[in-house]
Amino acid sequence: MRSDQVHRAIAQGINRFEVCQVVSKVVKATHKTGGRFEDTINEALDYLGDNNSDYESMHPGSSRKSAKTLVPAA
């Protein structure tokens, strides 16, 4: 089920926006003419859910635990 694939991708440290962006790029790059878009999307989500990568490699210079504080412009 696709929702399970999305939850596995999110569990890897990718937020929902990034999942949508990456899946869109993968589908554009790998979709074969005559094939079903649904199958290509499922393959991309499977890859994202199975790929073991750490948060720091995806977001260099940021930390999950520290939230950035916004300072209003003067």
Instruction: For residue 18, give the 3-state DSSP assignment.
Output: helix
Rg value, the chain, Cα = 16
- C-alpha–C-alpha distance, residues 31 and 27, integer Å: 5
- 14-63 pLDDT, tens digit each: 888 988 998 999 899 998 899 998 999 999 888 888 876 655 555 566 55
pLDDT of 67: 52
pLDDT at 66 over 60: no
3-state helix, strand, coil in the chain (%, to 5): 60, 0, 40
What pLDDT was estimated at residue 64? 54
Express each pLDDT in 7-16 by its tens digit: 888 888 788 8
**pLDDT for the residue numbered 65:** 54
